[in-house]
Structure 1
Amino acid sequence: MLCISFTRIVNLLLLLSAANVLAGPLASRGPRIVHEKRSPHAAATWQKHRRVDARAPVPIRVGLKQRNIHEIEDLLYSVSDPASPKYGQHWEYHEIAQHFAPEDETIAAVKEWLAEEGFGPERVRLTSTKGWIEIDATFGEAERLLDTEYHVYRHDDGSEHVGCDEYSIPAHVRHHVDLVTPTVNVMRKRTSSDNPRRSLSKGGIVRGPKTNGKKVAAAVLPTDLSTCDTMITPDCLRALYNINMSPTETAVNTFAIVEFTPQSYVQSDLNMFFANFSPSQVGTTPILVSIDGGEPTATVENSFDINGESDLDFEYAFALTNPQPIQLYQAGDAVEGASFNNYLDAIDGTFCTFQGGDNPQFDGIYPDTARGGFKGAESCGIVKPANVISVSYGGDEAAVTAAYFQRECTEYAKLGMAGVSVFYSSGDNGVAGNGGECLTTRNQESTRGTRFNPGFPVSCPFITAVGATQVDPGNPVTAPEGACEQVIFSGGGFSNVFGIPSYQSSAVASFFANHPPPFTAAQFNNSKTSRGYPDLSANGANYVIAIDGEFSLVFGTSASSPVVASMVTLINDARIAAGKGPVGFINPSIYSSAFASAFNDITHGGNQGCGTAGFTAVTGWDPVTGLGTPNFPNLLAAFLALP
C-alpha cells in the first residue's frame, strides 16, 4: 500500500471514494462527492437495525478546513530540527490559532451551501474558534443535506448508535470541509451496565499494563541490582540508562500524565511503593487537572484493571523525577468516560472539538445528562499543556476514518510547535492491534486476520512512540537488553495511512536495505514510504508496582512511555537551568547524526503477532524497538548542546 507525505494527505483524504450522485430537489445543489465512508471495521461489527425517525433532532457539526494547514509539517520541523536556525523558537498558542484559523472564504462557502439547503442564518452558528459550524437540524434535514440515510446500528453486545454508511457534499464545498459529525465514525458507546474492566474509556482506547499474576512478598523486594532480570525497580532503570540527576527547576518545569476514567491511582498504593523505593516521597500526590469531571477516585472498585495503569505511571514517574511535581490529566466522569479528543479539548482551547466536532458515539459529550454524570461545562483550554505529556493508551488505525484521526494528528503537530513533547506507548501486541486483532483482506479487524494492524495515535508522525525492551532472563543489568518478549510484545510496524516523515526517511531506508523483512505486501505496508514506529524504547518487563495493597509484577509499553517521558523531563530541567527552553518535539533531533551515541541499540528479539514472528530488532532503527533505549548522559549532553 503506497503512502504519501502528511502535507499532501489533506487533499487526498477527501477523495477516498469519489463518486457523483443524483442531484436533489434544488438545482443549486450541483454535483456531489462522497466525503467519508464508514470504516471496514465498523461495517463488520455494527449492523443496521432500523431507520431513524426523520423528525428527531440532531446537532450537525461541520469541521472547517484550517488555513495554512499544508505548512504545518515545515513549521513544526523549523522549530524542532536541530539543523534549523529557528530550533527551539516555539510558537505561542495565540499565534498558532491565528495562523491556522479557517479562511473567511471557507466560512462563507459553507454558510452559502447551508443557506441553499434551507438553513437560514438564525440556525447556523460559527464557533468562537472559527473551526466549526453548528446546525440544529432534524435527521430528515440532515439526510437531505448530506445525501445519506441515518440508521440505528446495533452491536452484537446489544449496544446501539446512530450513524450512516457514507455521506456526500457538493464538489465545490469539499475543499472547505474536513468532516461532518455525527456521520460515519462509530465506536461502542459505554452504558451504565458496562463492566469498566472491558471499557477503559471511549473511542476504543483499551491499552493498559499486563500481568502474569505473580505477587511479590515484601520480604523479598529487591534491595540491589542483582534481580533486575526478574524484578524491575527505579534503581534498575537508573542503572540501565545511567540516570543520575536530581532536578532543580521544578517550580517552572512541567510534566503531565494522562489517565482515562475509570483508571484511577490509589494514594495508599503510591505511599506503599514510595516507602520501599523512594521514602522521601511518601504522601506525594499528583496535581489534579480534572477534565470533564474526571476524578482519581471516580470508581470505588479496586482491581488491577482499574488501578494498574495509573498506579504504575505515577509510582515510577515520581521516583525517577523526584522532586518534580507531576500533573494528572484525569479525563472523563465515571458515567460517560472520555476520548483523546476530550483531553485535547482541555489542553488547547483552539482545538475544542466539542464546539462542533465531538461525536456522541465516540467522544464524551458534556454536560453529561445521565444520572451521576458531570453537569459542568465541557473542559476547553482549562490548562496550559505541560512541557512533557505521557499517554499509555491507544487504539488502532482501522477503527476510525482517515479524516477523523487526520484532524487529531494535526493537533499533535500544533502542540509540538508550542514546545510540547508528547509520548505514547506503542502497544503490547507486536504487529497486531488491540486484543491481538489483525486485519482481513477487507481491512476489517479480526482475530482471524493475517495482515498487520497498526496503532493510532502512535502512527501519527508528530508524536514520539515508545516501544518495550527487557533485561533478558539470567542476564545482569549491565548486559544489553533485548526486545520485550515476556507477557507482551513491543508494538511496532508501518502505518497504512501516514507517509514517512522526512526525519525518519534515512533510518527506514536503511532498515529495508540491510534487513528486509520476510513478509509481503499482503501482510504489511511494505511500500517503504510509510511512517514506521516506534521511535525509541525503554524497559517494559517485570516492573514491581504496589497495586491494591500488595506488590505485583506488570509488563507493557505502558511502563516504557512514562519512563522515557521522565528522562525528557529531567533534560528539560537541565536546559531550563542553562537558560534554554524545553526540547519540544524530539523526533527530528533523535534521528539526526548528532544523537547517534544517545541510544543503546537493541539487536535481538521480535514482536510477533498475526500468526507471524513479526519484525526483528536489528542494528540501527527497527519497527520493534526504534532507535533503541536512551543512554541518558549522552542524550542529555546532545540536547544541552542545542540552542
Structure 2
Amino acid sequence: MFPKLLSVVLLALVASASSLTITPHVRHEYRRSIPSGWNAVHRASPTAVLPLRIGLVQPGLEELEKHLLDVSQPESPNYGQHWSAGRVAETFRPSKQSVDTVREWLHSEGIDASRVKLSKSGGWIEATVSVQEAESLLKTHYSVYEHESTGTQHVACGSEYHLPEHVSKHVELVTPTLHFDVKLKREPVEELEKRVSKPGTAKTIGQPGHGVVVPKTTGRINIKSIFQELSQCDQFITPNCLRALYKYVYVPLVPNKNSYAIVEYTPQAYLASDLDLFFKNFSSSQIGQRPNLVSIDGGVVQTDQTGFEYNGESNLDLQFGMALVGKKQPVTLYQVGDIPQGASFNNLLDALDGSYCTFEGGDDPLQDGIYPDPLPGGYKGGPDCGTVKPANVISTSYGYNEADLTPAYTARQCAEYAKLGLMGVTVLYSSGDNGVAGNGALCLNPDGSQTNDGKIFNPSFPGTCPFVTSVGATQVNPGAKVTDPESACMQVIYSGGGFSNYFAMPDYQKSAVKNYLTKFPPSFAPNLWNATGTSRAFPDISANGANYVVAVNGNFSRVFGTSASTPVVGALLTSINDARIAIGKRPIGFINPTIYSAKFAGAWNDVTSGTNPGCGTPGFAATPGWDPVTGLGTPNFAKLLVQWLLLP
C-alpha cells in the first residue's frame, strides 16, 4: 500500500503545482539615474517595515483617451456630454482577476493573508512587509538616500524593480520603490528606518524654490507712475492691459451656476491687505472681496511667513484672476496641505476625485502628504478624498521637471487629468519659466541626471500630460503699443516649451506639430531634444507673462512668469463657461481637441517672434502657427466666445 499511497500523494502535488502560475520575473519599472542632489547613504535595514502598495491595472484605461475625445472633440455627437464621477469610478475599477493574481503571488512568497488588505475601492493592495521581504518580492535593493543640500532622507530602490511576468500584467506600479518626488524631514537614519511605515513629509511644492513655475520679480515699483495704463502696458501689465490685449469684455450672467478655482500649496498664501491694495487701484468695487476658501488636508492661508517668496504667487494669481472675472463671479481658492507637512498634486486630486485616493496604488507615504499628520501642529483630520466638487476651470501655477518623476508616477497622475476632463473640468498648468531647461535651469545629461551644465532639453510636468492645457508666456515688447503684436516672453523669464520624453503625441495636435516640424525644423542635434516627431508637444496656448503689477506686502512689485499667464487664461475660459451655461449649454471641459480644430484656427493671436533659450542654446523659435514657445498663440476672447457658443 505504501507505493500506492506515495503515488497518490505525488499526483496530488503535481495537480496542486499545475494550478499555480509560475513565471520568470521581468523588469517592471526603472529610472536611468538618481535625481539630482540625492546620494545613497547605506543599505536600508532588512528588518525595517515597509507599507508596500501595489497599484492594480484598471481595465478600460486603454479606452480612456477615446472616451475623453468623444465628449471633447467639437465634431463629436457627444460633445459636452460629460460623465458623472460615479460612472468614471465604476468604468475603471480593477478586475477581480487582478486582485486574485496579486494575492496569490504574495501568499506563494510567504506573506500571510493577515498582512495583506484590499482598499475599499479595489484599486490597490497593501502588504506590510520588511525591507528584506520587499527585496525578495521585487528582486531589488533598498537604500537610504540623503539630499546633499537639505539633509533630508528617503528610502527607495536605486534603479529598477521586478515582478513575475504574470503578475506584472495586473500591476501599474509599486510603492515605495523608485520615486523621489518627495523629501522626508531630516532625522537620524536609524529613526527614519523605524518610522518608514509611518507618514512621511511630502515634497512641499509650495515651499520657496521647490516649484518649476515660481514667479520672478525685479523689485518694487512706484504706483504713482501708472496713471495712463494702456499707454504703459510695455512696462506695467494691469487688468485693463489684459482686457485690451485679448479683447476681453464680459459681465457674468449666471455666476452662481459657474465656478473657477485657483490652486495654492501651503505655505504659499495671499494677504488680505494686499488684495485690497490691488483692488483699490485697479478694481475698486472688489475692495473687501475674498476668494472662497476650500481647505484641503489642513490647508491654511498662513500669515506667519511673509515676503515675496511666500506671498508673491498667491497674491499674483488671486489679484488678477479675481479682477478679471469681476465682482459677480465667485473665485474659489483650493489651499492644499498643512504647514508642517505640506502636500503634493496627488493630495489635490484625491480631494477632487475620491476614486483617485486608491487609484493604481494610491498615495505613497514617502511621496505625498499623509493625513492625519502626526507632526507637531499638523492637521489631525483624515485625508480629503472626494470631498471637493471640482470647479469648471482649475488653474495651477506650479509644476515639476518631468525627469524628477518616474514614467509610471506621471502616467498615473496624467490619467486622472483625463478623468477630470471626462467630468467636464478644464485643467490649466503653467509651462515653466526657463525655456527649454527645467526648474533651476537644470538640463539633462545622457545618463538622465540633471545638472546646470547639462545639454539636453528638460521638459516640465504636468504640462507634458496630453490631458491638461499647458500655458506659455508672451510679452508686450519694450516700446510697443498694447495694440501691437506680442512676442514670446524674453524678459526675466522664458516661456517653457518643447517635447515630452514620457508621453506620446495626442491625435488632436498631430497636424499642428507636423506643420511646425516640416516648415520650421529645429536646427539642434536630435540628441538634444526628443526629435522623434511622435511625442507630446507643449505649450498649447499662451498669454502675457511679463511686467505684472502685483501688490505684495503693502507695496507694488513687477512680476514675471507663466504663473501669471495661467490664471489669466483661466479667467477668460470661466467667462466663456458663463455664457454657455446662460443659454443652457454645458461647460467647455477639456479644451485641447477644440482649440486645435480648424474651427478655432482664427481665434488665436499668432505669436511669431521670440525664442525660449536654455541648455546653452537659443531654444525654439516662435513661428507662424503652433510652436513650442507660445503654442497656438494668445486668446482673442471675442472670437473664442463666438466659436464656443456655436458648439452644442
Sequence identity percentage = 54
Given candidates 294, 297, 317, the residue that maps to 1:313 is 317
- Between 225-234 and 299-308, report the one with greater CA deviation: 299-308
| Residue number in structure 1 paired with 2:156 | 163
| Residue number in structure 1 paired with 2:33 | 40
**Cα distance, 1:576 vs structure 2:** 0.2
Report whether the alignment pairs 1:134 with 2:126: yes
| Residue number in structure 2 paired with 1:412 | 417
Report whether the alignment pairs 1:610 with 2:609: no
Say whether the 8 Å CA contact 1:62–1:179 is kept in structure 2. Answer: yes
**Cα distance, 1:198 vs structure 2:** 9.7
| Residue number in structure 2 paired with 1:458 | 463
| Residue number in structure 2 paired with 1:99 | 91
Say whether the 8 Å CA contact 1:470–1:540 is kept in structure 2. Answer: yes
Distance in 1 (alpha carbons) for counterparts of 2:499 and 2:40: 33
5 Å matches for 1:60-71?
60-71=52-63
**Cα distance, 1:95 vs structure 2:** 0.3
Question: How many residue pairs end up in the alignment?
Answer: 612
Distance in 1 (alpha carbons) for counterparts of 2:154 and 2:437: 27
| Residue number in structure 2 paired with 1:172 | 166
Given candidates 556, 560, 567, the residue that maps to 2:561 is 556
Given candidates 104, 108, 118, the residue that maps to 1:112 is 104
Report whether the alignment pairs 1:58 with 2:50: yes
Instruction: Give deviations 1:322-359, integer Å, cap 9, x for gaps.
Output: 12111111111111111111111111101014994322
| Residue number in structure 2 paired with 1:77 | 69
Say whether the 8 Å CA contact 1:143–1:150 is kept in structure 2. Answer: yes
Structure with greater Cα Rg: 2
**Cα distance, 1:598 vs structure 2:** 0.7
| Residue number in structure 2 paired with 1:209 | 215
Instruction: Give deviations 1:153-205, integer Å, cap 9, x for gaps.
Output: 12212221111122211110111001011111013515379xx9996359953
| Residue number in structure 2 paired with 1:4 | none
Instruction: State the Cα RMSD in Å.
Output: 1.9
| Residue number in structure 2 paired with 1:517 | 522
Distance in 1 (alpha carbons) for counterparts of 2:282 and 2:152: 45
Distance in 2 (alpha carbons) for counterparts of 1:363 and 1:353: 13
**Cα distance, 1:581 vs structure 2:** 0.4
Distance in 1 (alpha carbons) for counterparts of 2:203 and 2:508: 39
Report whether the alignment pairs 1:184 with 2:189: no
Distance in 2 (alpha carbons) for counterparts of 1:41 and 1:423: 29
**Cα distance, 1:486 vs structure 2:** 0.3
SS at match of 1:328: strand
**Cα distance, 1:49 vs structure 2:** 1.2
CA 1:186 to 1:39, structure 2 compared with 1: closer, same or farther past 3 Å?
Answer: farther
SS at match of 1:509: helix
| Residue number in structure 2 paired with 1:10 | none
**Cα distance, 1:506 vs structure 2:** 0.3
SS at match of 1:173: helix
Say whether the 8 Å CA contact 2:459–2:501 is kept in structure 1. Answer: yes
Instruction: Give deviations 1:200-243, integer Å, cap 9, x for gaps.
Output: 35995342111112x22232234431100000000000000001
Letter of the 1:205 counterpart: G
Report whether the alignment pairs 1:577 with 2:570: no
CA 1:221 to 1:212, structure 2 compared with 1: closer, same or farther past 3 Å?
Answer: same
SS at match of 1:538: strand
CA 1:198 to 1:578, structure 2 compared with 1: closer, same or farther past 3 Å?
Answer: closer
- Between 44-53 and 169-178, report the one with greater CA deviation: 44-53
Query: Which residues of structure 1 form unaligned runs of 5+?
Result: 1-26
Say whether the 8 Å CA contact 1:471–1:481 is kept in structure 2. Answer: yes
Say whether the 8 Å CA contact 2:292–2:333 is kept in structure 1. Answer: yes
TM-score (norm 2): 0.92
5 Å matches for 1:471-510?
471-510=476-515
Given candidates 104, 113, 132, the residue that maps to 1:121 is 113
Report whether the alignment pairs 1:362 with 2:355: no
| Residue number in structure 1 paired with 2:308 | 304
CA 1:222 to 1:113, structure 2 compared with 1: closer, same or farther past 3 Å?
Answer: farther
**Cα distance, 1:30 vs structure 2:** 3.6
| Residue number in structure 2 paired with 1:624 | 629
Say whether the 8 Å CA contact 1:48–1:153 is kept in structure 2. Answer: yes
Given candidates 388, 395, 399, the residue that maps to 1:390 is 395
| Residue number in structure 2 paired with 1:5 | none
Given candidates 241, 245, 250, the residue that maps to 2:250 is 245
SS at match of 2:229: coil
| Residue number in structure 2 paired with 1:13 | none
Distance in 1 (alpha carbons) for counterparts of 2:138 and 2:394: 38
Distance in 2 (alpha carbons) for counterparts of 1:197 and 1:45: 14
| Residue number in structure 1 paired with 2:225 | 220
